[in-house]
Structure 1
């Protein structure tokens, strides 16, 4: 659903996009993969602004671009929903909460560092973040397996093995998967042209 040309509803969409992205960024601990899951729940499951397959494609673009995945995810979702204004609103809403929180924490760094309760709270958050990331992996893996494309499943398993067992740098894995995707697309396009 593209709201970029719908002028009357555009302001409401931009405001809703800002509030949603700001909220997600403010209450998401653990990095970009966590916020991507919550963006999927908000924009796909709750608002129905984006289809699930399209969200997976947007996440793939966000992962392959340089920079933090949370900001990249906000960029692609914002642009998809409302063009350049949506992109700018999403970026602003994503970077404001960490900027404000880190600014406050830096003022009271010593007190935070020495506080036992803050340390225990952060340790608890790490456990929660691990669970959310595991949820993302399982959902994305299940969605990829549902397509019943043997090559996609093989690529997913090989990427996991390369990262987990062989400790190959993730950058090389992403570049290899991108190259495989390009080759597959070119081959399928060539077959369609020949038919």
Structure 2
């Protein structure tokens, strides 16, 4: 593996994924865990968790963390550029012709057709990550409480993330470990 392999892998994922970060996660997993075996599944799950809790788009964060794990700062640069450049190029091209196509019924129908596919990819990502996260009854209850807190009670996710960090740290420390 070299920096160019890292760049091409993330460029390809970024270029051929619709729907944003969460839709990219299963493709990143397939490439770096299953196909190339650059990192293990457990470690990938940990990287995704950190990427999700970090500011910024989850797919770019995941790419950057994978790049750092594999090649340090050089990996960050190549994986980060690989994941961001396709979107940048596409946005520049769309911006150049957007005023001409923005009210096109064909374009609206295309996007209506893409939405269910994106939703399915996100669901598949959540399901696949959930399977490798060693889910138990307590985890399921926790997931439901978080979903209800955000959806019904409109609690900002940042408070839930901060609370999770505190609870996880306290649990870790009460088991005799040191941070």
TM-score normalised by length of structure 1: 0.83
Aligned mate of 1:42, from 20, 31, 34: 31
Find the aligned partners of 1:69 and 1:78 in 2 and give their Cα distance: 14
Find the aligned partners of 2:101 and 2:161 in 1 and give their Cα distance: 37
Q: How many residues align?
A: 178
Partner of 1:179: 166
Aligned mate of 1:141, from 118, 123, 130: 130
For the 8 Å contact 2:41–2:132, the answer to whether it is kept is no
Residues 165 and 137 (structure 1 numbering): CA distance in 2 closer, same or farther, change over 3 Å? farther
Find the aligned partners of 2:173 and 2:72 in 1 and give their Cα distance: 28
Partner of 2:82: 93
For the 8 Å contact 2:33–2:39, the answer to whether it is kept is yes
Aligned mate of 2:16, from 18, 22, 27: 27
For the 8 Å contact 1:71–1:91, the answer to whether it is kept is yes
Partner of 1:3: none
CA RMSD of aligned residues (A): 1.8
- Higher normalized contact order (CA 8 Å, seq sep 6+, divided by chain length): 2
Aligned mate of 2:114, from 115, 120, 125: 125
Partner of 2:145: 158
For the 8 Å contact 1:40–1:55, the answer to whether it is kept is yes
Find the aligned partners of 1:137 and 1:84 in 2 and give their Cα distance: 29
Q: Which runs of 5+ in 1 are unaligned?
A: 1-11
Partner of 1:8: none
Find the aligned partners of 1:161 and 1:100 in 2 and give their Cα distance: 38
Q: Deviations over 1:164-193 (max 9, x none)?
A: 333322111222212221111111235x9x
